[in-house]
C-alpha cells in the first residue's frame, strides 16, 4: 500500500496514522479530514444525533481547525440520504453573485483579464456565502438536535485553542501571499507565520459562533455578522450589500443519477459540474475491461487520462447554473453520445483532436458559443467529510472557501475568512458561465453515494477543485473494478488531466507506465503533487459492517461506532 505522506514520517508515525485513518464499525461511521472534527462527529452520534446533526457539528469544527479550506464565509453542497424515505437530496449552499456583479468584472480598463492572483484576492471575488443556510435547511428537514448544541463543541475547541498541524503550517508557508492585512495579523503575528505545534486560540470566532447559537443563522444574513461582512468588503472596494446577504436562496435539488457496472450513482447536480463529469467519465470507461490491465498498467492511466480530457472538454463547454441557461444533461450522458466520444480513445497516443462535442443533437436545444478562458487558475482547496448513522442515514458534505484562505479577507473581530468563489466564473465574458447577478458559478464538488440493489454501499467525496472529479471516479474504479479494500482504494496514487497535455501525478504511480505515456505524447510535471483528500465510508449490509477511510494527505480520521 502506498501512503501519500504530507510530511516526513517515521515507521511508527505511519503506523499510528494508518490506524487513525481506518476504522470498522457495526452501528455508525465518521470520516473527516481532521481528527478533532472527526471526534466531534463521533460525540454527536453518541449523544443520539443523526448523520445530518453530526456533519453540521463537523462543519463548525472544521472552521476552527481548517480555516484555509472551509468555514462559514464559504459555501458547499450537502448530500443527504434519508433511509426511512429511501430518498436522496442535495442541499445546495453554493455561493451566488451579488447584484452588482457583471460579466466584465474581471477585465481591466484595456479589456484584458486581470491576473488570477489579483482578481482572486480582491473584495469583488467574494460570493454570497451559502453553507450556513444549507446546513440550516438540512437541519430543519432531517436533524434531531438544536443548532446551538451542534455549534457548542466548535466553540469549546476555539476557546481552548487548537494545535497548528502540518497541513495549516504548510498552507501558510505556501499561500501567505493570499492573506489580507487582518488575516496576516492573525495567522502571522509579528510577521512570522504560525508553525506546526503552535497553539491557535480563536476567541473572536467563538464569539461569532455564540451569536449564531443565540440568534440563529439569520444573524449571519441579516444581523450583526452581516454588517461586519459588508463593512469589511466596503473597506476594500467590494460591492456586496446587506440585501445580497438577506436575499440569498438555498435550493434543494435532486442529484444527478448514473450507472456503472450495475451500481447506481447519485452525485452533485448543477451548478456543480462534479457529479455530471464523474458519471460521464465512468460511462466512457465502462466498455473497457479495466481489471485485465491492472491498477499500475499504462493502459489504465491512458484510459483515465483520455476519459478525463474528453469529459473536461465537455464540462468547460456546457456546464452552467441551470437557473440561467439550459444544459444538455441528457445529451452528455446519452448512450449514443458516449459511444461517439469513446471513438476518440485509440490506445495509440494522446489524441490531439479531443475537444468538446455536440450533446445537443441528442436532445432539444441549441449549442451556445464557447468562450476560451485564460489558463491561469491556481489549484483550489476544499474539504470533504461524511457520516453514516445508526439508522442508515448518510450525509456527505463538500464545503469550501475556494482557494487556500479564500479571498484572504478576514472579517475583523469575527474570526473567519471570506471566499473567492466568484473566480469560478469565466473571466472572459460571453459564455454560459459568465458572471451575472445572483448566478452561481460552475463548481466541481462531487459528494457521491453509490447504491446496489436499492441500498447504499459507498459514500465518498474529495476536495481539490477540478481534481475532485479525478479523486472520486478513481476511488470508485479502485473499489468496483480492482476490488480493493476501502483504504487501499483511497490511497492508490492518482493522476489528473484536464484538456491539455499536462498530467499531474502522485508519488507511487508506476514509473514504467509514466514513461510509456510520455512516449505517447503526454507531459508530466517535474514533481509529483497531492491530488485530493478522499473521505469514504463503505457499507457491507450482508456482513453488518461499516468501513471508514480517511486519506493520508491530511490529518484525517475515521471513527466507527459499535
The catalytic site residues sit at 382
Neighbour tally for 87: CB within 10 Å = 10
CA gap 97, 79 in Å, rounded = 23
The residue among 139, 1, 164 whose CA lies nearest residue 59 is 139
Residue for grid cell 440520504: 81
The residue among 419, 410, 407, 420 whose CA lies nearest residue 202 is 410
CA gap 493, 335 in Å, rounded = 30
CA gap 355, 391 in Å, rounded = 46
Say if residue 424 carries a ligand binding annotation.
Answer: yes
Say if residue 465 carries a ligand binding annotation.
Answer: yes
Distances 418 to 93, 252, 406 between C-alpha atoms, Å? 15, 24, 6
Distances 5 to 18, 290, 552, 556 between C-alpha atoms, Å? 11, 27, 6, 12
Neighbour tally for 181: CB within 10 Å = 12
SS3 359: helix
Query: Which residues fall within 8 angstroms of residue 20, CB to CB, at 6 or more apart?
Result: 35, 550, 556, 557, 558
Query: Which residues fall within 8 angstroms of residue 412, CB to CB, at 6 or more apart?
Result: 182, 228, 231, 232
Q: Report the alpha-carbon angle 303-308-311, nearest 5.
A: 125
Q: CA torsion sign, 120 to 123 to 125 to 126?
A: positive
CA gap 387, 447 in Å, rounded = 12
Grid cell locating 115 = 491576473
CA gap 493, 508 in Å, rounded = 6
Total length of the chain? 562
Query: Which residues fall within 8 angstroms of residue 47, CB to CB, at 6 or more apart?
Result: 145
CA gap 19, 255 in Å, rounded = 33
Q: Report the alpha-carbon angle 527-531-535, nearest 5.
A: 150
What is the chain's alpha carbon radius of gyration, rounded to the nearest angstrom? 22
Annotated binding site for L-glutamate: 424, 465
Amino acid at each position: 500500500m502506498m501512503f501519500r505522506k504530507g510530511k516526513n514520517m517515521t515507521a511508527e508515525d505511519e503506523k499510528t496514522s494508518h490506524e487513525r485513518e481506518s476504522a470498522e464499525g457495526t452501528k455508525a461511521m465518521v470520516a473527516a479530514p481532521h481528527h478533532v472534527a472527526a471526534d466531534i462527529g463521533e460525540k454527536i452520534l453518541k449523544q443520539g444525533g443523526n448523520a445530518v446533526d453530526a456533519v453540521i457539528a463537523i462543519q463548525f469544527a472544521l472552521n476552527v481547525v481548517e480555516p484555509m479550506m472551509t468555514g462559514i464565509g464559504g459555501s458547499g453542497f450537502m448530500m443527504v440520504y434519508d433511509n426511512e424515505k429511501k430518498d436522496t437530496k442535495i442541499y445546495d449552499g453554493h455561493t451566488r453573485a451579488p447584484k452588482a456583479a457583471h460579466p466584465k468584472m474581471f477585465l481591466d480598463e484595456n479589456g484584458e483579464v486581470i491576473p488570477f492572483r489579483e482578481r482572486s484576492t480582491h473584495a469583488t471575488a467574494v460570493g454570497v456565502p451559502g453553507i450556513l443556510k444549507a446546513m440550516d435547511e438540512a437541519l430543519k428537514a432531517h436533524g434531531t438536535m438544536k443548532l446551538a448544541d451542534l455549534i457548542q463543541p466548535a466553540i469549546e475547541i476555539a476557546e481552548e485553542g487548537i494545535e497548528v498541524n502540518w497541513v495549516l503550517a504548510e498552507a501558510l508557508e505556501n499561500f501567505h501571499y493570499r492573506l489580507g492585512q487582518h488575516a496576516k495579523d492573525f495567522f502571522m503575528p509579528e510577521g512570522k507565520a504560525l508553525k506546526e505545534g503552535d497553539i491557535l486560540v480563536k476567541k473572536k470566532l467563538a464569539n461569532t459562533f455564540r451569536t449564531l447559537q443565540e440568534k440563529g443563522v439569520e444573524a449571519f444574513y441579516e444581523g450583526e455578522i452581516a454588517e461586519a461582512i459588508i463593512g469589511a468588503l466596503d473597506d476594500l472596494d467590494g460591492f456586496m450589500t446587506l440585501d445580497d446577504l438577506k436575499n440569498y436562496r438555498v435550493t434543494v435539488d435532486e442529484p444527478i443519477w448514473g450507472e456503472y457496472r450495475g451500481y447506481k450513482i447519485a452525485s452533485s447536480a448543477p451548478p456543480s459540474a462534479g457529479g455530471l463529469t464523474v458519471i460521464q467519465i465512468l460511462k466512457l470507461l465502462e466498455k473497457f475491461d479495466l481489471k485485465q490491465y491492472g491498477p499500475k498498467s499504462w493502459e489504465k492511466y491512458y484510459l483515465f487520462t483520455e476519459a478525463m480530457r474528453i469529459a473536461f472538454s465537455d464540462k468547460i463547454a456546457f456546464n452552467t447554473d441551470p437557473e440561467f441557461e439550459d444544459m444538455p444533461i441528457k445529451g452528455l450522458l446519452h448512450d449514443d453520445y458516449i459511444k461517439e466520444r469513446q471513438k476518440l480513445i485509440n490506445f495509440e497516443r494522446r489524441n490531439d483532436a479531443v475537444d468538446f462535442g455536440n450533446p445537443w443533437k441528442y436532445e432539444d436545444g441549441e449549442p451556445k458559443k464557447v468562450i476560451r478562458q485564460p489558463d491561469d487558475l491556481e489549484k483550489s482547496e476544499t474539504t470533504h467529510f461524511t457520516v453514516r448513522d445508526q439508522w442508515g442515514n448518510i450525509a456527505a458534505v463538500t464545503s469550501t472557501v475556494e482557494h487556500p484562505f479564500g479571498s484572504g479577507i478576514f472579517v475583523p473581530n469575527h474570526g473567519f475568512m471570506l471566499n473567492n468563489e466568484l473566480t469560478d466564473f469565466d473571466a472572459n465574458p460571453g459564455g454560459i458561465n459568465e458572471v451575472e447577478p445572483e448566478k452561481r458559478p460552475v463548481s466541481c464538488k462531487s459528494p457521491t453515494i453509490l447504491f446496489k440493489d436499492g441500498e447504499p454501499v459507498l459514500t465518498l467525496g474529495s476536495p481539490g477543485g477540478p481534481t475532485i472529479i479525478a479523486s472520486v471516479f478513481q476511488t470508485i474504479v479502485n473499489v468496483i473494478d480492482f476490488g480493493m479494500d476501502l483504504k487501499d482504494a483511497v490511497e492508490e496514487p492518482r493522476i489528473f488531466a484536464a484538456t491539455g497535455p499536462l498530467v499531474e501525478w502522485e508519488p507511487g504511480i508506476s514509473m514504467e507506465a509514466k514513461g510509456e505515456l510520455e512516449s505517447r505524447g503526454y507531459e508530466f510535471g517535474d514533481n509529483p503533487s497531492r491530488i485530493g483528500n478522499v473521505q469514504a465510508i463503505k457499507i457491507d449490509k450482508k456482513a453488518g459492517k461499516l468501513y471508514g477511510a480517511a486519506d493520508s494527505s491530511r490529518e484525517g480520521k475515521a471513527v466507527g461506532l459499535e
